[in-house]
Structure formats: C-alpha cells, structure tokens
Amino acid sequence: MNTIKEHSILVSKWGYDQTNVTFYSVLKRTPKMVTLQELETNQTECEPGKFSAKVKPGKPLNEKPIRRKVLVRFGEEVVRIGERQFARPWNWRAQRETSYA
C-alpha cells in the first residue's frame, strides 16, 4: 500500500479554534520515510464576513525540507508532522480554512 509517492502532494488540516491547512510536496520516498517540502497556501475563494476561505497548494516555501516517518492509520498511509498533526494524500480539491478576524 504505497499511496504516498514521490512528487505527490500531502495536505494537513490542524488547529483548535480555527482550521489551518498546510500542503507538502514529497521530495523523496523510502519504504518507511518521506522527505517533505512545505508549500505556499493560495486562496481560491473567500467568504467575506465568515473568516473562511478555500485554499490550494502553491510554490515551495524557502523552508528546510523535513524528514518524517510514514505510518498506517485506519488503513491509510499518513505522515505525522507534529504531535496532533498528520498529513495525507491531497484529493486535488480546494480545502476549507478558517481564521479569526
């Protein structure tokens, strides 16, 4: 089950009072590890007054790539980014992001 492949894009949705969306490009894949590059987040739609937008991935950020272990959770390959943040393959649809004023 290799659903996370080199050159694919992963998405991570995280947050408590708001939903943050982070995209990553898979630079390298080994059987147990991936090297990821964080991508810009571009708004495609904005809902004025609702503090909500739809976002898609953009260009790579000038951040140092990160290396993470690939896990299987509920039958799906995911990558743990942080303590409560996981990234999974992006479905090519804009993702909803929310924020405060």
Query: Residue 58 belongs to what H/E stretch?
Result: strand 52-60
Give this prediction's pTM.
0.87
Q: Over 80: is that where the pLDDT of 19 sits?
A: yes
Range in 2-11, 52-61, 77-86 with the lowest mean pLDDT: 52-61
Q: What's residue 97's pLDDT?
A: 83
Q: Which residue ranges make up each domain of the chain?
A: 9-98
* Mean per-residue pLDDT, 48-53: 68
DSSP-derived secondary structure for 23-47:
EEEEEEE-SSEEEEEEEEEEEEEEE
Q: Which of 53, 71, 74 is nearest to 10 (CA)?
A: 71
